[in-house]
Amino acid sequence: MSDMGIYRRQRASVALSLSFLSLIFSITAFSSSYWCEGTRKVAKPFCTDQGKGTHCIRFNNSDVNNSNAVQYIWETGDDKFVDRKFHAGIWYSCEEIINGEGEKCRSFISLTPPADRGVLWLSIVAELLYIILLLTGATLMSIEVCYYNTIIDGLKLNAFAAIFTVLAGLFGMVAHMMYTTVFQMTVNLGPEDWRPQMWDYGWSYCLAWSSFTCCMAASVTTINRYTKTILEFKHKQKKLERSLKNKYKFPD
What domains can be seen in the chain, in order of their start residue? 7-32+113-235 (1.20.140.150)
Give the residue from 128, 124, 147, 150 showing the smallest Cα distance to 16.
147
Angle between helices 3-31 and 117-146 (to 10 degrees): 150
Q: What is the pLDDT of residues 46-86, one digit of tens each?
A: 666 554 555 665 555 555 455 544 444 444 555 666 788 89
Under DSSP, the state recorded for 97 is P
Under DSSP, the state recorded for 68 is T
Determine if residue 233 is left, alpha or beta; phi over 0 gives left, psi from -120 to 50 gives alpha, anything else beta.
Answer: alpha
> pTM for the full model?
0.78
Dist. CA 194–CA 20, nearest whole Å: 36
Dist. CA 60–CA 28, nearest whole Å: 50
Give the residue from 134, 230, 231, 224 showing the smallest Cα distance to 173.
134
- CB of 131 within 8 A of CB of 27? yes
By CB atoms closer than 10 A (0-12, 13-18, 19+), residue 63 is exposed
Which pLDDT score is estimated for 101?
72
Which pLDDT score is estimated for 69?
45
Q: What is the pLDDT of residues 141-198, one digit of tens each?
A: 888 887 766 667 777 888 889 999 999 999 999 999 999 999 999 999 988 888 888 8
Give percent of the chain with pLDDT exceeding 70. 71
Which pLDDT score is estimated for 74?
46
Under DSSP, the state recorded for 148 is -
Q: Place 235 in a pLDDT band, splitting at 50, 70 and 90.
A: low
Which pLDDT score is estimated for 13?
85
Determine phi and psi for 82, rounding to 5 degrees. -140, 145
Kindly tell me if the per-residue pLDDT of 122 is higher than 80.
yes
